Amino acid sequence: MSWLNEFPSLGSEQLSAMRRTIDGVFRGFTREYGEGIERMFDPLRDFLLFSERLLTQSPWPLVVAAIALIAWLGSRSMKIVVGTVLTLMAIGYFGMWDDTMKTVSMIFVCTVVALAIGLPIGIAMSRWDRLQKIVLPSLDVMQTMPSFVYLIPVVMLLGIGRVPGLLAVVIYAIPPVIRFTNLGIRLVDSDLLEAADAFGASTWQKMSKVQLPLALPTIMAGVNQTIMLSLAMVVVASMIGVQGLGQPVLKAISNQYFTMGVFNGLAIVGIAIIFDRVSQAYGKRLQKHLEVVHG
Amino acid sequence: MVDQAISTTPDANSIGISIRKLYKIFGPTPEKFLERVQNGMTKQELRDDHGHVLGLRDINIDMPAGGIQVVMGLSGSGKSTLIRHINRLIEPTSGEVIAGTEDVVKMNHNELLRFRREKTAMVFQKFALFPHYTVLENAEYGLEVQGVSSKKRRERSMKWIERVGLKGYEDNYPNQLSGGMQQRVGLARALSNDAPILLMDEAFSALDPLIRSDMQSVLLDLQQEIGKTIVFITHDLDEALRLGDKIAVLRDGEVVQQGTGQEIVLKPADDYIESFVQHVNRGRVIRCRTLMQPGARVNGPDVDPSLVIEEAARLLTVDNIEAANVVTAKGKHLGVITMNDIIGAIVPPKPEVAEDAEVATAADY
């Protein structure tokens, strides 16, 4: 009766042979094409380097002023602008300016890439139910798979550094943009689409003038989520060489530097709050026309 | 007021619509059942045995160019389905929809887009205004789709915004306006298109009675100027009688009767329509032409043959006179109409069936 107590499984020999084969195939693939693939990501690396230099090498008052201006344009709220400036000053005062700027630059590039990939996928999904049926479960996998697991193939393929870090962050953070874009477009009132049809709008006119503008507040909620998720990945990504606030946290973990960990953690919280408040206030402003003034 | 609409001369550009043998079956494989439905399969049978829904069956309507065609029916009668066939928001299962000289059903995608842009405009029951556009931008929508320059579309849309009484609200968002005002925006959006066909799908049904009657006046007034071919869907008989030059009554996807309001009220085709028209104010529907008797001129006021008899009665009551002369606009004497005839026509014949029913219920107690 031993089969009852022991789960039927492949023998350890077969299992290790299987692992070796798959790993071998992937390693072979990496050796063959790794360099070419790495070169494919060169423009991305240049973009990353450019934005990082821009933020770290510009005079700090200029950077603070620029971020404050963006906060103002997004939120139109003096309270948020003052909060933003105070947070940045505090971060700088406690000596975390450079790391913070590296992280901000990383988040910025990740968000841009996530939008550039996620928006078209979300739009396509909203138009084809069959695509939605394929993409939604893939997103579930991306979101539940422990992030450390997909660091492995990324590192095998591209080594360590900024670009593999960026990829890992984008994979982790892109699902909300795709989901919310799809959802926002699908939620647009069918009466409005019928009206657009009745006036002879083409597919493109419907998408650009009716569906996307009306879905924008929902899409912004997705962008907000994406930013938050990329911030959450910063520490994990630091394990594969992404510079910024994650590095000192990693150092603090391995050396038990309590204060250092807390300070850098708080800096991450600080910029998270800035990003969150500004993008939410912007999303809310987009919905201003929905305020009912007259019965 | 119905008279005004009738006397409208059709615009030289206006086009009539004729619907021929139109069938619509909803379901996964409508073609399979078309022939059987054409051969008389009932709606019930189609639904219960084959899981398809009969939307429209053998619709034949000629809609006059430059006139108001009302399609009336209760909910579920297929009237909204029918109007959506005219600009092909719904694909027919079989049949023809001929607007002017073109068959809408045969158009390819691009022809259809052009037809919708240039030949039709639509007003919706639930307004369907774009919430992210201002009143002006909403009114400009049809022109924007057509690719008209922003200066030109502003000019044209402002004219119609003013005409429907919304001047000063052009920068508001639809949500900031009341229902009646929102539907004025819907009307301005449709009129800015300057298309010869205006499709109105229960356009005033969501409005409260006073505002509804107000909007009916606005529409009749406008129609005097624009002389478009208007297809107006409603479930309200009073509205149908007030607006319609011609009325088609729909029931279960079939036309039960069509004709002028007067024809429908005076000669209802079956019990269904009779029960509908029973409570109508006949005085506002029947015209002097119908009631007049041949006879020499009497000492009384002159009335137009197309005047409704309620108005004629008012004229007679004011002067306390018994009879009036029916005289055409050109002064030709046609006959006379008496107060007695008018009263006889306004008070409907007693429905005998209803009386029997009353006796029966009384006996039950």
> What number of residues does chain B have?
365
Q: In this predicted model, what pLDDT tens digit does every residue of A29-71 receive, in sequence order? A: 888 887 888 888 888 888 988 998 888 888 989 999 999 999 9
Q: Are B324 and B336 in contact (CB under 8 A)?
A: yes
The answer, yes or no, to whether residue B360 has pLDDT greater than 70, is: no
Predicted confidence at residue A134, as pLDDT, reads 93
Q: In this predicted model, what pLDDT tens digit does every residue of B269-309 receive, in sequence order? A: 888 888 888 888 888 888 888 888 888 888 888 888 888 88
Predicted confidence at residue A1, as pLDDT, reads 63
Pick from B112, B117, B130 the residue to mutate for testing the A interface (most A CBs within 10 Å): B130
Please state which of the ranges A140-154, A182-196, B94-108 shows the lowest mean pLDDT: A140-154
- B-chain CB neighbours of A291 within 8 Å are 175-176
Which residue of chain B has the CA closest to A204?
Answer: B145
Work out the average pLDDT over A11-34: 87
Q: Provide the shortest C-alpha distance from residue B128 to chain A (in Å).
A: 5
- B-chain CB neighbours of A197 within 8 Å are 89, 116
Option in A199, A290, A294 nearest B145 (CB): A199
Residue in the block written with tokens 């029913």: B357
The answer, yes or no, to whether residue B233 has pLDDT greater than 90, is: yes
- A-chain CB neighbours of B113 within 8 Å are 200, 202
**In which order are the strands placed within the sheet that holds B53-63?**
B53-63, B17-26, B94-99, B102-103
Work out the average pLDDT over B332-352: 80
Chain B 185-214, residues with CB within 8 Å of chain A CB atoms: 193, 199
A8 reaches B (C-beta below 8 A): no
Predicted confidence at residue B225, as pLDDT, reads 84
Work out the average pLDDT over B311-316: 87
Work out the average pLDDT over B26-42: 88
Q: In this predicted model, what pLDDT tens digit does every residue of A79-126 receive, in sequence order? A: 999 999 999 999 989 988 888 999 999 999 999 999 999 999 999 999
What element of type H or E holds B337? strand B333-338
Option in A189, A205, A293 nearest B176 (CB): A293
B343: confidence class by pLDDT, cuts 50, 70, 90: confident
A294: confidence class by pLDDT, cuts 50, 70, 90: low
CA angle B299, B302, B308 (to 5 degrees): 125
A204 reaches B (C-beta below 8 A): no
Which residue of chain B has the CA closest to A295?
Answer: B178
More confident residue, A236 or B10: A236
The answer, yes or no, to whether residue B362 has pLDDT greater than 60, is: no
- Return d(Cα B222, Cα B150) in angstroms, integer: 25
Work out the average pLDDT over B251-266: 88
A194 reaches B (C-beta below 8 A): yes
Q: Quote the percentage of chain B above a pLDDT of 90.
A: 30
The answer, yes or no, to whether residue B1 has pLDDT greater than 70, is: no
Which residue of chain A has the CA closest to B109?
Answer: A202
Q: In this predicted model, what pLDDT tens digit does every residue of A138-148 receive, in sequence order? A: 999 888 888 88
Q: In angstroms, how far apart are the furthest CA atoms of chain B?
A: 75
Those residues with Cβ within 8 angstroms of residue B171's Cβ, 6 or more apart along the chain or in another chain: B134, B135, B136
Q: Do B131 and A290 touch (CB under 8 A)?
A: yes
What element of type H or E holds B57? strand B53-63
Q: Rounded to 5 degrees, what are φ and ψ at B97?
A: -125, 100
Going from the N-terminus, what domains does chain B have, and what CATH number goes with each? 2-119+195-277 (3.40.50.300), 282-346 (3.90.1280.20)
Q: Are A271 and A208 in contact (CB under 8 A)?
A: no
Q: In this predicted model, what pLDDT tens digit does every residue of B106-146 receive, in sequence order? A: 999 999 999 999 999 999 998 999 999 999 999 999 999 99
| CB contacts < 8 A (A, B) | 70
Work out the average pLDDT over A19-33: 87
- Return d(Cα B40, Cα B20) in angstroms, integer: 17
Pick from A187, A188, A193, A199 the residue to mutate for testing the B interface (most B CBs within 10 Å): A199
Q: Do A194 and B145 touch (CB under 8 A)?
A: no
Q: Do B113 and A200 touch (CB under 8 A)?
A: yes
Those residues with Cβ within 8 angstroms of residue A253's Cβ, 6 or more apart along the chain or in another chain: A261
Mean pLDDT of chain A: 88
Chain B 72-131, residues with CB within 8 Å of chain A CB atoms: 87, 89, 112-118, 120-122, 124, 126, 128-131
The answer, yes or no, to whether residue A193 has pLDDT greater than 70, is: yes
Q: Are A241 and A162 in contact (CB under 8 A)?
A: yes
Q: Rounded to 5 degrees, what are φ and ψ at B44?
A: -55, -50
Six-digit token string for A269? 């919280």
Q: Quote the percentage of chain B above a pLDDT of 70.
A: 92
Option in B117, B175, B177 nearest A200 (CB): B117
The answer, yes or no, to whether residue B359 has pLDDT greater than 50, is: no
Q: Are B83 and B55 in contact (CB under 8 A)?
A: no
Burial A19-30 (b: 16+ CB within 10 A, else e): eeeeeeeeeeeb
Q: Provide the shortest C-alpha distance from residue B119 to chain A (in Å).
A: 10
Q: What is the DSSP letter of A291?
A: -
Q: In this predicted model, what pLDDT tens digit does every residue of B164-221 receive, in sequence order? A: 888 899 898 998 888 888 989 999 999 998 889 999 999 888 888 888 888 898 888 8
Option in A191, A198, A214 nearest B116 (CB): A198
Q: Provide the shortest C-alpha distance from residue B251 to chain A (in Å).
A: 25
Q: Do B175 and A199 touch (CB under 8 A)?
A: no
Mean pLDDT of chain B: 85
Q: Do B121 and A195 touch (CB under 8 A)?
A: no
Going from the N-terminus, what domains does chain A have, and what CATH number goes with each? 14-287 (1.10.3720.10)
A292 reaches B (C-beta below 8 A): yes
A287: confidence class by pLDDT, cuts 50, 70, 90: confident
Predicted confidence at residue B351, as pLDDT, reads 56
Q: Do B146 and A200 touch (CB under 8 A)?
A: yes
Predicted confidence at residue B348, as pLDDT, reads 65
The answer, yes or no, to whether residue B5 has pLDDT greater than 80, is: no
Work out the average pLDDT over A9-35: 87
Q: Quote the percentage of chain A above a pLDDT of 90.
A: 42
Chain A 13-52, residues with CB within 8 Å of chain B CB atoms: none
Q: Provide the shortest C-alpha distance from residue A194 to chain B (in Å).
A: 8
- Return d(Cα B98, Cα B106) in angstroms, integer: 10
Which residue of chain B has the CA closest to A201?
Answer: B145
- Return d(Cα A65, Cα A73) in angstroms, integer: 12
Predicted confidence at residue B365, as pLDDT, reads 42
The answer, yes or no, to whether residue A215 has pLDDT greater than 50, is: yes
B141 reaches A (C-beta below 8 A): yes
- A-chain CB neighbours of B173 within 8 Å are 289
Which residue of chain B has the CA closest to A189?
Answer: B128
Work out the average pLDDT over A22-26: 89
Q: Do B128 and A293 touch (CB under 8 A)?
A: no
Predicted confidence at residue A284, as pLDDT, reads 85
A294 reaches B (C-beta below 8 A): yes
- B-chain CB neighbours of A198 within 8 Å are 87, 89, 116, 120-122, 124, 199
- Return d(Cα B139, Cα B159) in angstroms, integer: 10
A190 reaches B (C-beta below 8 A): no
Q: Do B131 and A209 touch (CB under 8 A)?
A: no
Q: Quote the percentage of chain A above a pLDDT of 70.
A: 98
Nearest to A100 by CA among A279, A266, A278: A266
The answer, yes or no, to whether residue B354 has pLDDT greater than 80, is: no
Option in A192, A202, A294 nearest B113 (CB): A202
In order of A56, A95, A224, A270, B179, the CA distances from A88 in angstroms are 13, 11, 20, 8, 49
Q: Do A290 and B128 touch (CB under 8 A)?
A: no
Which residue of chain A has the CA closest to B128?
Answer: A192
Predicted confidence at residue B350, as pLDDT, reads 62
ipTM of the complex: 0.80
The answer, yes or no, to whether residue B330 has pLDDT greater than 60, is: yes
